[in-house]
Amino acid sequence: MRAFAGFVIRLVAYALVIGASTRIAQNWWLDNGLDNVFALQSFHDIGIDVLVVAPLVCALFGFGVFRRPAIFVAAFLVGVALTAPFACLRFAGG
């Protein structure tokens, strides 16, 4: 039972952190008009899919020896999510 409680706490924490950054990135994506750029649509769809699944993966494997790598992966994904709209805007010529 204790392992399940730890899993739920990890899942909620990762979901809150990654989910908040996803929502911020989504707002920046829409504010910059990147939702109308067809060339970036598949990149955006794959990125959102990864960010939706990432909290579950980090929570499943984020204990014991893999705790620090899971935190690193979550922080990396947050950084990528928050900078991707600006990089794509630069790529799209905006």
pLDDT for 69 equals 96
Q: Which structural domain range is residue 32 located in? A: 2-92
Number of domains in the chain: 1
The vertex-53 CA angle with 45 and 91, nearest 5°, equals 30
The average pLDDT across 27-39 equals 90
Is it the case that residue 92 has pLDDT exceeding 90?
no
Which residue matches tokens 């504010």?
Answer: 31
Query: What is residue 59's predicted lDDT score, i.e. its pLDDT?
Result: 95
pLDDT digits 0-9 by tens, 62-80: 989 999 999 999 999 999 9
Percent of the chain scoring above 70 in pLDDT: 99
